[in-house]
Amino acid sequence: MAARGPAGSRVGNSRFAQFKLVLLGESAVGKSSIVLRFVKDQFDSYRESTIGAAFLTQTISLDENTTVKFEIWDTAGQERYKSLAPMYYRNANCAVVVYDITQASSLDKAKQWVKELQRQANENIIIALAGNKLDLVTEQPDKRAIQTADAEAYAREAGLLFFETSAKTAENVRELFTSIAKKLPLDQAGPRNPRSGGRGGVELRPDTQGTQAGGPCSC
Amino acid sequence: MDDIAPEYDVIVLGTGLTECVLSGVLSVKGKKVLHIDRNDHYGGEAASVNIETLFKKYGNYTKGEEPWKKYGRVNDWNIDLVPKLLMSCGELTNILVSTDVTRYLEFKQVAGSYVQQGSGAKATVAKVPSDAGEALRSSLMGIFEKRRMKSFIEWVGTFDATDAASHKGLNINTCTMKDVYDKFGLEAGTRDFIGHAMALYQTDSYINEKGTGPETIERIRLYGNSVSRYGKSPYIYPLYGLGELPQGFARLSAIYGGTYMLNTNIDEVLYEGDKAVGIKATMQDRGGEEPMKFTTKCKKILADPSYFPSKAQVTGQLLKAICILNHPLAGTDNSDSCQLIIPQSQVGRKNDIYIAVVSSAHNVCPKGYYIAIVSTIAETSANHHLELAPGFERLGRIEEKFMGPSIPLYEPLESGVNDNIFISKSYDATSHFETTTDDVKDIYRRAEGHDLVVEGLREGTNLVGEE
């Protein structure tokens, strides 16, 4: 795949880089909730399946000179019947694969998604494994179905970042995204914006040059 | 696995561009949509495929061999099955912008639009002028003809259908385009060029038909406005191929609650009286799990014609050859992409031959390769290769040629009002998507009972976390 690298710029000593991040994992493990916590610092226990978590962005500062912007793609429910489009994986720089630490089968599903990422996405994609719903086992330890050590061993073997998170209490959510940001190849970020016509592309906007239909022909 | 809802407002069958645009629009408008494809990928006839899939689809290799291996990584190839480009001021562009599907796609200009003059050894290729300067330098017309052309184009620009004073004394609603061309004293070659390379008519039947003036003028304006939007050519093209378009609209639909199921066969359509009221279907699991059978109700079904062959008729046969080249087309200034039109009059045909070329500049193939699709409407029932031959002559050396039997073009027999099944048309032989968006609007009107307005479609909808 002819990969589109991250976009970014460098002004003086400060660096700005933008990366595409995709979410994966079984339905109802809390993919959207993790993002909602990260982006809006909100949580809603009774959220229905994903509707309308279209296209979120969040910026984090790694240090006073380095800013990373995540362009976050939610599955929009298309993972439910294994109907994610190739477009979803295209040019993803990083991925968060989520499972539910109270559901034993969800780690197996997560492993399948990791395989799918390795098949469909860029070779150098950075993948983080997130065991979500940590709050449930903090309250009731016997609810835990997947031991931390087991998931951690798998993550190490597969070369993934690993965190146990709680979208509800925010535990480790910011840490998860920060550790991804630290691992991204910031130095490869070139001075261009992927949506403003780099590489001879065109930007489609409603009022470009005022050439709406019906106007005088200018050939 | 989650349960399928017991009822949907709309079930959409097939994930071609027409179906995906409709699915997206209906979901945005709050309809509960179930969108199904029997294939394991999006796009149907409007998909882009990799080179291994293409070889396997056409079967033009010896069993046991793997000819795709000499073309690099198979996934570096995104080869369109439909030879079309987007008009940069066309309706599909408007819909992409109004729905914000542009967020998921990147577009690039097509470098040039060309037209052939003459045939055989004497054939020459000339650029369709993209501005006044190019028009004056163009080899297409002599000096006096250029002046007549200029005055015609200026008239097209100022024409107002409701103002008879701008009609040059012609009764524009009843006269023919021949009358219009006569009025400006345009030569045959110029008429050919205007009608086929700018108005993009594929036959000459528009010339003597009464009342085609306003439509022809609209077509020329669309061409002119599209050229002036970004320069060079009227066309734009999505990186990674046209197959990105249905995927983008499917994502729009999913974001607004649409449910997607690929790899799913329709076992039966359920009727009450004459009206379709539901489906029985089976989703095959690629992971080796048991197939999932389900039944669900719906108020209406939208489908591409392949799901209801008995409710569609064949209106023509499209000929198409997908060719892999390792060089640009001769006479196109080494363009990384272009459209080349061979007008029917130049090669003794009734229908124009189109060549659409894209390349690694559009992330559809590895560096150094070009994908050229030659297409026309069949005029014979055999000798299809011969019909496309003038197109092949323009290509020079061809590395691979994929050409199956002619492709039937379908349209629905009925409007769908009687059976609640609203069927789309096949992707036709035109070089762009204007007829596709006409079909989208027509189906929407038939199914919903009012006109589709895409401007401001997403305004007022409440999305989680929208920026």
The distance of A31 to chain B (nearest Cα, Å) reads 14
| C-alpha gyration radius of chain A | 19
List, for residues B397-428, the tens digit of each pLDDT value.
999 999 999 999 999 999 999 999 999 999 99
Query: In this complex, which of B107, B287, B466 lies closest to A201 when CB atoms are compared?
Result: B107
From the number of C-beta atoms within 10 Å of its C-beta (0-12, 13-18, 19+), residue B455 rates as exposed
* Of the candidate ranges B44-58, B169-183, B452-466, the one whose mean pLDDT is the lowest: B452-466
Which pLDDT band holds residue A82 (cuts at 50, 70, 90)? confident
What pLDDT is recorded for position A54?
Answer: 59
Q: What is the pLDDT of residue B460?
A: 64
A188 pLDDT tier (thresholds 50, 70, 90): low
CB–CB of A212 and B225 under 8 A?
yes
Are residues A202 and B287, on separate chains, in Cβ contact within 8 Å? no
Band (B140; pLDDT cuts 50, 70, 90): confident
Three-state DSSP class for residue B232: coil
Continuous segment of H or E residues that includes residue B389: helix B384-395
* pLDDT (mean) for A10-22: 85
- Selected residue with higher pLDDT from B365 and B173: B365
The whole-number pLDDT of residue B69 equals 96
- The structure tokens 């599955």 sit at A75
pLDDT reported for residue B135: 76
How many helices (H) and strands (E) chain A has is answered by 6, 9
**Cα Rg for chain B, rounded, in angstroms?**
23
B322-375 confidence digits (pLDDT tens): 999 999 999 999 999 999 999 999 999 999 999 999 999 999 999 999 999 999
Q: For residues B266 and B264, what is the distance between their CA atoms, to the nearest angstrom? A: 7
Condensed to tens digits (0 to 9), the pLDDT of residues B275-294 reads 999 999 999 987 778 899 99
**Residue pLDDT, tens place only, B112-130:** 999 998 888 889 999 987 7
Asked if A204 has any chain B CB less than 8 Å from its own CB, the reply is yes
Chain A residue with the nearest C-alpha to that of B236: A202
| pLDDT computed for residue B98 by the predictor | 92
Q: Is A119 on the interface with B (CB under 8 A)?
A: no
* pTM to 2 decimal places: 0.92
Q: State the pLDDT at residue A210.
A: 40
Contact B89 A81 (CB under 8 A): no
Are B255 and A53 an interchain contact pair (Cβ–Cβ within 8 Å)? yes
- Which of A81, A119, A209 would best serve as a mutation to test chain B binding (most B beta carbons within 10 A)? A81
Tell me which chain A residue has its CA closest to the CA of residue B108: A201
Residue B44 and residue B47: Cα distance in Å, rounded? 6
Percent of chain B with pLDDT over 90: 83
The ipTM assigned to this model is 0.87
With beta carbons under 8 A apart, name residues in chain A contacting B198. 219
Instruction: Match 């037209």 to its residue by tokens.
Output: B115
Identify all chain A residues contacting B106, using CB atoms and an 8 Å cutoff: 194-195, 201
Q: What average pLDDT does this structure show over B49-75? A: 94
Q: Which of B229, B240, B259 sits opposite A209 (nearest CB)?
A: B229
- Largest pairwise CA distance in chain A: 74
- H helices then E strands: how many in chain B? 12, 20
Counting every residue written for chain B, the total comes to: 467
Distance CA B259, CA B250 (A): 9
- Can you give the pLDDT at residue A217? 40
Is the CB of B174 inside 8 Å of chain A's CB atoms?
A: no
Among B129, B286, B287, select the one facing A219 at the smallest CB separation.
B129
Of the pLDDT bands very low, low, confident and very high (cuts 50, 70, 90), residue A105 is very high
Which residues are CB-contacts of B276 (< 8 A; sequence separation ≥ 6)? Answer: B269, B270, B298, B300, B301, B419, B420, B421
Helix (H, G, I), strand (E, B) or coil at B70: helix
Structure confidence by residue, pLDDT tens digits, B84-118? 999 999 999 999 999 989 989 999 999 999 999 88
Q: For chain B, what is the mean pLDDT?
A: 93
Q: At what angle do helices B213-230 and B177-184 cross, to 10 degrees?
A: 60
Short-list A200, A32, A78, A55, CA closest to B247 = A78
Indicate left, alpha or beta for B27 from its phi (over 0: left) and psi (-120 to 50: alpha).
alpha
In terms of Cβ atoms closer than 10 Å to its own Cβ (0-12, 13-18, 19+), residue B79 is buried
Highest mean predicted confidence (pLDDT) among A8-17, A190-199, B258-267: B258-267
Closest-CA residue to B223 (of A178, A162, A12, A219): A219
Binary contact (A27, B2; C-beta < 8 A): yes
Residue B288: its pLDDT value, please? Answer: 75
Exposed, middle or buried: residue B94 (CB in 10 Å: 0-12, 13-18, 19+)? middle
Closest residue in chain A to residue B251, using alpha carbons only: A76
Beta bridge partners of A94: A21, A126
Residue that has been written with the tokens 């150098």 in this structure: A124
Residue B235, strand partner residues: B87
Q: Do A85 and B76 touch (CB under 8 A)?
A: no
Put simply, the answer to whether B132 touches A200 (Cβ < 8 Å) is no
pLDDT value of residue B388: 97
Sort out which chain A residues have CB atoms less than 8 A from B220's CB and list them: 217
Instruction: Determine whether the interchain pair A54/B76 forms a contact, defined as Cβ–Cβ distance below 8 Å.
Output: no
| Pairing status of strand B421-423 against strand B407-412 | unpaired
pLDDT band, very low/low/confident/very high, at A194 (cuts 50, 70, 90):
very low
pLDDT exceeding 90 applies to what percent of chain A?
Answer: 58
Q: Give B153-158's long-range contacts (Cβ < 8 A, gap of 24+).
A: B153/A217, B153/A219, B153/B220, B153/B224, B155/B184, B156/A217, B156/B217, B156/B220, B156/B221, B156/B224, B157/A216, B157/A217, B157/A218, B157/B221, B157/B224, B158/A216
B81 DSSP assignment: S
Which residues of chain B have a CB within 8 Å of the CB of A88? 251
Q: Which SS3 state, helix, strand or coil, does residue B60 take?
A: coil
pLDDT at A89: 94
Mean pLDDT on A103-124: 94
Q: How confident is the model at residue A1 (pLDDT cuts 50, 70, 90)?
A: very low
B193 to each of A100, B81, B111, B149, B198, how far by Cα in Å?
64, 27, 19, 11, 7
Answer whether residue B187 shows pLDDT above 70: yes
DSSP codes of every residue in A59-104: EEEEETTEEEEEEEEP-TTTTTTT---HHHHTT--EEEEEEETT-H
Confidence of residue A6 (pLDDT cuts 50, 70, 90): low
> Is residue A56 predicted with pLDDT exceeding 90?
no
Examine the pLDDT at B6 and tell me if it is beyond 80.
yes
- DSSP label at residue B290: P
Chain A residues close to B262, C-beta within 8 Å: 81-83
pLDDT at site B440: 98
pLDDT at residue A192 is higher than 90: no
Q: Nearest-CA neighbor of B242 among B421, B94, B369, B363?
A: B363
- Is A216 in Cβ contact with B157 (below 8 Å)? yes
